[in-house]
């Protein structure tokens, strides 16, 4: 921590200093903690490859290895995000990775996360319909437009155009989808509306990021999302996926969507604080996504809110103010943590007034900035463990981790903290000239990635493969 921050903290009343240092202790992940967590992480990744029902589910994606860069054709893509539906029309020109993307976003109304499945699929097919009209896209029943659907939730796939939702994550809890084939549900909704569209591939956002980034950068080893949720995909040898019953010969490369947000659901290694326990207990899915709830964007702001509320109830921050917004779950977004760490004290005050309607004194701003740093640092350091464990397991010594998501892209210090922690885990010398494994900005996984995967899938079918 910077000297200035330390002296700011020293200006606080002793009781507050004591509490903050206690919180900092609980949130600190030291090098030996990182190593211990990564070791267990590797065990859980291996368990996921071995058997069904492990914490980390290691989903087979039926995406066979990296793209050649020569993939061609025109594809529709659809991405179901947390706040938007994004639809693209992607043209892959097949030469020198040239691509053209037309896109539109449609707002997902607020309550949709807890609506019925029919409402969700209606919204999606209405948006697809609008997109076809707005972009003058034809297609007929004999020549439907191929669609790559990015569905960023854990889905068990028997084939690439199939996926049984294991459980909703990231605060979604739409009824009638868990345990069902989401590809079949979308296909039915498309055919009810008579849209000239054929679902070709169901893709996780991590796999999309991996493939889109490999298309332009052959050194890509992992596609990772550090955003609302937290997860990664990499390429595995089919022969090492012991749980997979398949005729495919060992040596066949296949992308694995790890779904490692569920790491340590049995609570063996992660040092959970009472705030983490609270985030979990009050979530729509208690007991699930333990790792994600300590490290991903959806939850970092909520952890900050819970700590501030705790200190406020003791009269230690925002004293004597009535703050109903601070009592509302999920009022604080990760953007506030980024702003607090990035900005001047004056704009921190403005942000706190806007987000929780609090009038903050100089001391309140110091506390908030300190907590934002402590929470985001723990998150970034934990995020490194998943990637380090994949590298250890696969004996990967160098390459690029193509990362996407709001935390990776918008938090001012995420990447540097992540990189430092990776060096600590992998014992890189302190005086190294460069890092052998680096974090890069992923290419557009849900547009470009889903289109390339659709192209790879159609090519495979044309080559006579049945999976």
Question: What is the size of the binding site for ligand GLC (CB under 6 A)?
Answer: 17
Applying CB under 6 A, among 41, 62, 153, 172 the residue interacting with ligand GLC is: 153
Q: Which residues, in sequence order, are CB contacts of 341 under 8 Å at separation 6+? A: 369, 372, 373, 376, 411, 412, 413
Minimum separation from the CB atom of position 260 to ligand GLC (A): 8
Q: Residue 235 — φ and ψ, nearest 5°?
A: -100, 125
Cβ closest to ligand GLC, residue 38 vs residue 204: 204
Applying CB under 6 A, does 207 fall inside the site for ligand GLC?
no
Cβ closest to ligand GLC, residue 48 vs residue 423: 48
- Please name every residue paired with 226 in a beta bridge, in sequence order, or none if there are none: 230
Give CA–CA dist 143/124, Å, rounded.
Answer: 21
Give CA–CA dist 164/147, Å, rounded.
Answer: 18
Question: Which H or E element spans position 428?
Answer: none
Over the window 170 to 199, marking each residue x when it contacts ligand GLC by CB under 6 A and - when it does not, the resulting string is x-----------------------------
- Return the DSSP state at 287: T
Q: Residue 253 — φ and ψ, nearest 5°?
A: -80, 135
Applying CB under 6 A, among 19, 152, 338, 377 the residue interacting with ligand GLC is: 152
Here the tokens at position 290 are: 């333990």
Cβ closest to ligand GLC, residue 59 vs residue 400: 59
Applying CB under 6 A, does 292 fall inside the site for ligand GLC?
yes
Cβ closest to ligand GLC, residue 207 vs residue 360: 207
Minimum separation from the CB atom of position 249 to ligand GLC (A): 28
Applying CB under 6 A, does 48 fall inside the site for ligand GLC?
no
Pick from 406, 458, 409, 443: nearest CA to 101:
443
Cβ closest to ligand GLC, residue 48 vs residue 154: 154
450-462 vs 205-216: helix crossing angle, rounded to 10: 80
334-342 vs 362-394: helix crossing angle, rounded to 10: 110
Applying CB under 6 A, which part among 98-106, 222-230, 345-353, 380-388 lies near ligand GLC? Answer: 222-230
Applying CB under 6 A, does 229 fall inside the site for ligand GLC?
yes
252-271 residues in contact with ligand GLC (CB under 6 A) are: 259, 261
With tokens 């079949």, the residue in question is 184
Binding-site ranges for ligand GLC (CB under 6 A): 152-154, 169-170, 204-206, 225, 227-231, 259, 261, 292
């Amino acid at each position: 921590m910077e000297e200035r921050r330390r002296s700011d903290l020293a200006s606080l009343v002793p009781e507050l200093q004591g509490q903050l240092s206690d919180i900092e202790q609980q949130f600190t992940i030291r090098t030996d903690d990182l190593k211990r967590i990564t070791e267990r992480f590797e065990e859980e990744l291996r368990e996921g490859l071995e058997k069904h029902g492990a914490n980390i589910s290691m989903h087979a994606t039926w995406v066979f290895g990296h793209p050649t860069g020569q993939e061609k054709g025109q594809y529709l893509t659809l991405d179901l995000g947390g706040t938007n539906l994004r639809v693209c029309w992607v043209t892959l020109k097949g030469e020198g990775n040239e691509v053209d993307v037309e896109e539109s976003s449609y707002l997902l109304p607020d309550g949709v996360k807890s609506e019925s499945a029919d409402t969700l699929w209606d919204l999606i097919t209405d948006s697809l319909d609008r997109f076809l009209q707005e972009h003058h896209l034809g297609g007929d029943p004999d020549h439907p437009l191929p669609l790559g659907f990015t569905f960023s939730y854990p889905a068990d796939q028997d084939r690439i155009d199939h996926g049984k939702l294991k459980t909703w994550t990231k605060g979604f809890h739409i009824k009638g989808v868990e345990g069902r084939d989401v590809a079949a549900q979308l296909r039915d909704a498309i055919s009810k509306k008579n849209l000239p569209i054929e679902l070709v591939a169901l893709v996780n956002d991590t796999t999309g990021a991996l493939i889109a980034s490999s298309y332009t950068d052959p050194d890509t080893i992992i596609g990772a999302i550090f955003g609302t949720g937290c997860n990664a995909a990499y390429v595995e040898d089919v022969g090492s996926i012991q749980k997979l019953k398949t005729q495919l010969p060992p040596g066949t490369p296949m992308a694995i969507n790890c779904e490692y947000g569920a790491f340590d659901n049995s609570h063996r290694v992660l040092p959970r604080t009472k705030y983490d326990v609270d985030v979990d207990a009050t979530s729509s899915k208690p007991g699930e996504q333990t790792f994600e709830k300590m490290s991903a964007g959806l939850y970092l702001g909520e952890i900050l809110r819970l700590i501030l509320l705790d200190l406020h109830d003791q009269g230690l921050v925002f004293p004597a103010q009535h703050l109903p917004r601070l009592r509302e779950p999920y009022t604080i977004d990760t953007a506030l943590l980024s702003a607090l760490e990035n900005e001047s004290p004056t704009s921190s005050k403005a942000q706190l007034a806007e987000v929780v309607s609090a009038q903050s004194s100089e001391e309140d701003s110091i506390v908030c900035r300190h907590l934002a740093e402590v929470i985001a640092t723990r998150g970034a350091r934990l995020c490194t463990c998943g990637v380090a464990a994949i590298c250890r397991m696969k004996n990967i010594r160098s390459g690029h981790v193509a990362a996407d998501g709001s935390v990776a892209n918008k938090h001012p210090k995420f990447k540097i903290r992540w990189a430092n922690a990776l060096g600590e885990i992998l014992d890189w010398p302190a005086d190294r000239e460069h890092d052998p494994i680096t974090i890069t900005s992923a290419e557009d996984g849900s547009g470009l990635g889903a289109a390339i995967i659709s192209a790879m899938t159609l090519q495979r079918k044309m080559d006579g493969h049945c999976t």
